[in-house]
Amino acid sequence: MRILVTGANGLLGGFLVPELVSGGHEVLATGRGGLRLPVEAGSTFAYADMDITDALRVSDLLREWRPDHVVHAAALTQADPCELDPVACWHVNVTATRFLATAAEAVGARLTYVSTDFVFDGEAGPYREGDPTGPVNVYGCSKLTAERVVLETNRHAGIIRTVLVYGRSGGQSRTNLMTWVRDRLTAGERIRVVDDQVRTPTYAGDLARGIRLLVESGGTGIYHVSGADVLTPWEMARLTARHLDLDASLLERVDASTFTQPARRPLRTGFHIDKARRVLGYAPLTFAEGLRLALDGGGQ
């Protein structure tokens, strides 16, 4: 299968491109600027510079390469910058998604869109695919709107929602709760961590496998793909400290009202992943296993 991937230079892309290549697929990885994706020995894929907000470039590249499937993983994913600049957020997360969905439909390509738990309000998590949505910030609104654009535009679209992605790809890791805790505790600093938010943190390698399984199945509709462990950030921080043998007494347990942030966060999200397990054969690592790979560099 010929598969075009957006956001290939990001954390997920560092897992997803090798995952698809190892599955025997012909992959065109795309991103802004030059290739920053780690390239493993023996890994073969093509790369193209593509700004997803450039409708003409998107249309031209898809017509030229004619993929069978497009996996759209590029997005603005940080809630606070999206809240502070909603126009930029909407341009990247919604308008550009419409460009891709339209271009994919025009060449007969299926589309898989990567979305988020922030489409929910956090009042009743963990959530199933059919639960009512209700985002509480601009980022969540943009992703929910993009989901609707995808499903309305591309007849063969799939949506994969995920939660709090973490991992390590090619020796690189995106800053996340676990790496932040590691760095602060290693420096001997006291840090405050909330214990009234709930998530199901997702190892990036698991998410990449879930996407490959959906792509290969030809499935459509919405799937929740995350870790299975239901944890608060406080619990994640404690487990991180224990794994690295760092001083957990430096962790101060607080609630979300302690912090002032531009974007409101949903309190209780996380996912039930029964559908992905049953239909796709998805089987995530435990948080402890993912943590070991993410922090110790145990590979993909």
E strand residue ranges, 56-190: 69-72, 110-116, 157-162, 165-166
pLDDT of residue 195: 96
Average pLDDT, 10 consecutive residues per value, the chain (300 residues)? 96 94 96 81 81 98 98 97 98 98 97 98 97 98 98 94 88 73 95 96 97 97 98 96 96 93 96 98 97 76
Q: Can you give the residue ranges of every domain in the chain? A: 2-166+202-227+271-284
pLDDT of residue 4: 98
pLDDT of residue 168: 82
Our CA dihedral for 283, 267, 75, 97, rounded to 10 degrees, sits at 90
Fold observed for domain 2-166+202-227+271-284? Rossmann fold (3.40.50)
CB-based contact 93:138 (threshold 8 Å): no
CB neighbourhood size of 289 (10 A): 15
Q: Which of 32, 63, 60 is nearest to 48 (CA)?
A: 32
Residue whose token pair is 């290939």: 8
State the catalytic residues.
139
E strand residue ranges, the chain: 2-6, 26-31, 46-49, 69-72, 110-116, 157-162, 165-166, 191-194, 202-203, 221-224, 251-254
Name the β-bridge partners of 159.
113, 222
